[in-house]
Amino acid sequence: MLVYPNVTPKWLHAVAVLLSAILACVPGSAFAAKDWSGEVLYFVLLDRFADGDSGNNFKVQRGNPGGYHGGDIKGLTQQLDELSDLGVTALWINPVQKQMPNPMYAQAPAKLGIPEFQHFGFHGYWIEDFEAMEPHFGSVADLKQLVDEAHKRGIKVLLDVVYNHSGYNSKYNERRTSDGVSWMRTAEGNCEVDAIKCRVGGLPDFKTEIPEVREYLLQANIRLAKQTGLDGFRLDTYKHVETYFWLEHRKRTRAEVSQDFFLLAEYWGGTASSLDPFFARDEVDSGFDFSFKGSCESFANGRGRSIAFGSYLGKRHSIRKGYQVAHYMSTHDEPMALANLGGDKAKFRLCAAVQMTSIGIPVIYYGEEVGRGGSEWPTNRNDMPWGDREVYPGHGVARDESLRDFYKALLRLRQQHPALTRGSYTLLSTPQEKLVAYQRTDLDSGDQVILVANRDPDVVQADYPAPEAWIGKPVIDAISGAPVQVEGGRIKLDMAPVSVRILTTPTRKLVP
């Protein structure tokens, strides 16, 4: 373990920056963990997903948008076949440590018509005790069983962990070092000026520059990973913790859990380029690409030139070798994509298809694959729809099974075609076109896939050169299975209004 002085080590930060500059000159990294480029990640807020243990439903308030609704780890474990059948290969769950017992009071946007409500830590980010489990979620044994059962289905599990802050009014506000220094910052700070020494959302901020504080937090989270067999962490509020902390964290997780322990950073506003310094220092394996959601929504809603969106998708390939970005359509911190698209499921399907055929780790936010409703906070954290199935808290909430079938086909396609996970990108459409069309090519296998997307409200004709390897072979729309016309070495399509086609040749043996 590295040892640091009991003050902010500016010298160490300078060393980390220098190391970053040196590593940035290296074309690839020998340090990155096992490749996750082929994974599809599914994010679950436990309390909103499925209730598997009625014995922990104390103080459940399903009518309160900020209250506990009864979902738990056992409930998620019971529904793993739902995710396996969908094609999910990795699972991300919210923090599970004990939450602050008392609520805060919150006011939703007036346009949502929700009055002031009691806001509890049902989401997991207001931790009261890092060494205990939140009873609403379950026990350490429950978490281990979830991981074990997920692994039986070929699903990896990431746990969301918090190092930056505790819950409001937590016991850590009273904690002191042996020489009387508080563990927490008392000054509010300005996150735009100093991202490290500010209190995000007014939450008590740990002084992770103090060795005792740092060691406590590292031990608490790493111990839980070792106890339960987790495959990795999703790292909350990444930009609000120092580089030297993350370097030690990387060293410790590899030494104490696994060399392949996967780390996914929530660096707010992150893109392939802005995340690169962290990849260069090998602090993490992946980070969220915050640009994808808004870019695809804008394209589908008719804003900007189609060629600009196609070029943007190509630029996303500028990722350091061995590292990934994770791109999403909806999250618990942003409005639901379907709402931003005006509830238009044709537009939503278009974006889902682009997401699943783009480089990076696609993230599905629970329930969006069945058309879960909701818009901005707090309705973006509503219950998983289960329709007529006797699963609570979302029993009776309508779900779109045809949309789920579309997602299922996309995930199967992604699994079957290495071009979609590791292939190069070639933009086929031109500046004069209304369409976006691109080709993904994997040189190792020879696999090729073409996507054509029409956001226009009218039928638009597509005419593109077919890959040379496709000449004389049948070409199909991989979603519908319908044959595609190829004339004179060119692919010709009449693209229906607001539609997407994914083209392949069924000559390779596909995974069943």
pLDDT higher at 215 or 10? 215
pLDDT in tens, 163-196: 999 999 999 999 999 999 999 998 888 998 999 9
Instruction: Check for a shared fold between 10-416 and 424-504.
Output: no
Domain ranges of the chain: 10-416, 424-504
Answer whether 162's CB lies under 8 Å from 127's CB.
yes
The predicted pLDDT at position 439 comes to 98
The predicted pLDDT at position 457 comes to 97
pLDDT in tens, 44-61: 999 999 999 999 999 999
The predicted pLDDT at position 2 comes to 33
Answer whether 120's CB lies under 8 Å from 53's CB.
no
Q: What is the C-alpha to C-alpha distance for residues 321 and 215, in angstroms, rounded to an integer?
A: 31
Span 364-377, average pLDDT: 98
Residue 354 is classified by DSSP as H
Span 118-142, average pLDDT: 98
pLDDT in tens, 66-89: 999 999 999 999 999 999 999 999
Span 142-168, average pLDDT: 98
Check pLDDT > 50 for residue 1: no
Answer whether 484's CB lies under 8 Å from 504's CB.
no
Check pLDDT > 90 for residue 235: yes
The predicted pLDDT at position 25 comes to 47
Q: What is the C-alpha to C-alpha distance for residues 493 and 470, in angstroms, rounded to an integer?
A: 16
The predicted pLDDT at position 179 comes to 93
Degrees, nearest 5: CA angle 117-377-330? 150
CATH number of 10-416: 3.20.20.80
State the pLDDT confidence band at 510, using cuts at 50, 70 and 90.
very low
The predicted pLDDT at position 507 comes to 54
Three-state SS at 150:
helix
The predicted pLDDT at position 30 comes to 46
Q: What is the C-alpha to C-alpha distance for residues 450 and 492, in angstroms, rounded to an integer?
A: 12
Phi, psi of 303, rounded to the nearest 5 degrees? -95, 135
CA 205, distance to chain mean position in Å, is: 24
The predicted pLDDT at position 506 comes to 79
| Mean of all residue pLDDT scores within the chain | 92
The predicted pLDDT at position 43 comes to 98
* Residue whose entry in the numeric block shows the structure tokens 């692994």: 151
Residues in the chain, how many? 512
The predicted pLDDT at position 168 comes to 95
pLDDT in tens, 419-429: 999 999 999 99
Check pLDDT > 60 for residue 339: yes
**Of the candidates 452, 454, 337, which has an alpha carbon nearest to the alpha carbon of residue 403?**
337
pLDDT in tens, 61-72: 999 999 999 999
Amino acid occupying residue 407:
Y
| Neighbour tally for 458: CB within 10 Å | 10
The predicted pLDDT at position 18 comes to 52
The predicted pLDDT at position 33 comes to 53
The predicted pLDDT at position 34 comes to 75
One CATH from 3.40.50.2300, 3.40.50.620, 2.60.40.1180, 1.10.1040.10 for 424-504: 2.60.40.1180
Check pLDDT > 60 for residue 31: no
* Residue whose entry in the numeric block shows the structure tokens 């074990």: 148
% of the chain with per-residue pLDDT over 70: 92
pLDDT higher at 395 or 480? 395
